[in-house]
Structure 1
Amino acid sequence: MTVMSSKNPSFNHHRRPFRDYILCLDLDGTLVDTAPDLVRVTNETIALEGLPETNFKTARREVGYGSKRLIASSMERFGHSVSDERLTELQQWFLNRYAESLSDHSRPFPGVVQTLKDLKRSGATLTVCTNKPGYLARPLLETLHLTSYFANIVGGDEAPKAKPDRRHLLQAAGPNRLGKKIVMIGDSFPDIRAGHNAKVPTILMRYGYNPINAHRLRPTIALDNFRDIPKVLTRL
């Protein structure tokens, strides 16, 4: 009788089918539903200009484009605008306030935690490629007990240029990416375009913050449920 050992290559390949994959995951709108806190702080920010609360559903679709756009768009809906200098001041106030309370209402999307566990157990290298500043992304992930799943976390301020620039994605994939199957997983234009620019497959999570029709973004695959990621990886 042959006893299969964990040192047997075929055994490892069977038990760790994704060991050749590097999955670069967006944060806001893909891993974590951060919109409740981001829109809350946006409302606190535009209140400094004497404005009422913005429409949550509309603001939610703009989360993936950064805090400055989120603030500016929310003010524009009330016919209000400010100078570039004032907008920068408001953005800094937003970032300071958000850093104080970034996980009050933010939670991982359904299926995220278990799927990350399954993917890592199956050999996949998981990284975070987010346009959120790194000094905000790391404590958020730590507070939600997600940090341990990721080999690398790269914020938008830590790359030569943020997504959709391909260098951000490649930095997140890490120095040992050669010969690996890199996949970009996100919910909006910067994520999918970064994948296109890096010439790697992309998975669009349709439950996220994307204001653009999924068909127009041209992802390799579009999904409604994070739990389905392991099922489709081998099709990429």
Structure 2
Amino acid sequence: KYALCFCASQTSMEEMMKWEKGKKWQLRVEGLQNKLREKEKEADALGKQLNALKEIYMKSEKEKVVLQKKLKISAASVDHVVGARDSETDKELEELRKRNLDLENEVAHLRTQQAISGDSVVEELNFKNQYLQEQLHALQRQHARETYSRPSTSGIGSDDQYRREQELLKENLRLSSENVELRFQLEQANKDLPRLKNQIGDLKEMCDLLRKERAEVERKLGGFRGVSIAAAFVVVIA
């Protein structure tokens, strides 16, 4: 009887050790599952930001096309503007300023959510912006030379139209500068999203492996429980 009791006690201790080991595996699996859920949330948030970037980019491209068309129309009719056209042009300019301001606000809001990472990216953005500013000044100087080199047919009306044309040109180039920044933000988001998806895939594989190991531990624990019950039954009979 003493030998059987000792055997049953030793088996119970082994079973307890196996149970504790299985519990540790379970906690580890749960921890990895929590990390997996967090990564999935991050991927979802990044996907939403990417979609928002694409929508803003498409909208800015449409606004750019509209501004370019209006700029061409304005340049073609510089010497044919009359007083009745002035108020209409002012109204169009006001609408363009409003749309451009809305777009700039959306871009500023987007920058607070999706920061551009990397000194090289920021440096290249600054270079692009500087290039656009230089292009703007060059176009202004060229247009000024062309305007003052030809005879004026409409007097003050031509000067006003030239000023409006320059304002349209500035708005168009400013919007082009914003588009350059948006392209870099899209590229950065496209780089981050696959990396995050790869991390999620690795976590899923690790969780699957831990589930298999846990199932194996539980299977072994089931065998030990059967031995323990049999030993206890022998002790009771004795």
Which one has the largest radius of gyration? 2
With normalisation by structure 2, the TM-score equals 0.22
Relative to the length of structure 1, the TM-score reads 0.22
Higher strand share: 1
Give the structure with the higher percent helix: 2
Higher relative contact order (CA 8 A, sep 6+): 2
